[in-house]
Amino acid sequence: MSRLSRKIAWRYLFSKKSHSAINAISIVSVCGVAITTLALVCTLSVYNGFTQLIGSLYSQIDPQIKITPLQGKTLDTEENAIRQIAEWPEVETFSPVIEENALCIYKERQRPVLVKGVPDNYTRLSHIQDIITSGSFLLNDGRIDYVTLGIGVASQLGVVANSPYPVELYAPNRLGRVNLANPSQSFNGRRIFVASTFCSNQAIYDDQIVIVPLSVAREMFSYTREATAIELRLTPSADEQAIAQKLKSHLGDNYRVATRIEQNEWYKWVQIEKWITFLILSFILMIATFNVIGALSMLIIDKKRDIDTLQNLGADDRLISKIFLAEGWLISAIGAGSGLILGIILCYLQQEYGLLKLGSSEGIFITDAYPVRLELFDTVAVTLVVLLMGFVTAWYPAKFLRKRLLAAKSNRE
């Protein structure tokens, strides 16, 4: 668009029209675009806030990167490709782990659990110490091995930390045969004292995980140097996505490399829900931008004398159509800019002061107010969609005007 067409369009937008209805329709068009843009920015930011909040809860247990075999259940920790990873400068902590199902018994109560065997450097890999609710996290004191229970497991079994009574863990003998005469010999058992309990506020962990030393897990499940997964913690300067891609290239197609986000299915579904909501609000935005067509159509009628004057001054049909195209684009741009500014301000106020609460009762939810997180990609995406829709809706009246001008010109000739 030429500078002249933009100047005239700007003048038309704020000048007084002969019919007040045109001013009203223009204001409604700007407000409609602004409010829908505001809704898009705030809605996407709330989804981002919940993603960050839940991700922070999972991060207490989940590693930054987890390597698992694509086929079978275990991998060889002494394999050359696996051992080399521990020497990478980007890898701060390298931990082989074993995750297997077992039966946990305490006195007369029992329940199935997921046993997680971890090495001594597990506290450097995870933030397990930050979520300990009773006792202190301890795997071994040099003489005795200990277990840490999820708060849900401990509650259902009636176990307290530092209890004088041990829990019993039983798992099927992976390498032996079932002895029908004496079935108890077909299980590997281990009595182990409880050192602590943890609470991550995630039922998938709290209600099933028990953490034991890696040596205990290998003994129970008849493993030697095998592990079911390799968990990694990276150096602060390392890029998680870049290292994940590097690991995939290094390990080939026999292993699955998952970042912290990719380890959880909830993230995928939250993202799907987020972008479906984006599409629904974009459809509402499209309806709001249709007001621009009505505003431009009435403006073209109102400025008929100005169009004749411009033609007499030598303006061609293309310049005149560009003026009204710029007019429609300005309406969308002002609406988008206003909505973005208001959305950013509202997100900031919500983040700092928690204006919108999740519920009337405190302490029921993990957080009292809706969490928000404004991301640059979402802001850019909303801006582009608004401007694109504004351009498309402005293009139709401008094209119609140009056809009418060309038809009038041919009739005169």
Tens of pLDDT, residue by residue over 285-314, are: 888 777 777 777 777 777 777 777 777 777
pTM above 0.85, yes or no: no
Beta strand 187-198 with 146-150: parallel, antiparallel or unpaired? parallel
Phi, psi of 265 (to 5 degrees): -70, -25
- Of 320, 338, 287, whose CA–CA distance to 400 is shortest? 320
Determine the pLDDT at residue 305.
77
Q: End-to-end CA distance of the chain, in Å?
A: 28
Determine the pLDDT at residue 143.
87
Determine the pLDDT at residue 360.
56
Q: How far apart are CA 274 and CA 192, in angstroms?
A: 45
**pLDDT tens profile 219-242:** 999 898 999 999 999 999 998 889
**Residue for token pair 């928690």:** 354
Arithmetic mean of pLDDT over the chain: 83
Spatial neighbors of 225 by CB under 8 A, at least 6 apart, are: 76, 77, 78
CA dihedral (235, 241, 242, 244) positive or negative: positive
Does the structure show a pLDDT above 70 at 410? no
Give alpha helix (H) positions in 303-375: 304-312, 317-353
Query: Which 8-state DSSP code applies to residue 354?
Result: -
CA dihedral (52, 58, 61, 67) positive or negative: negative
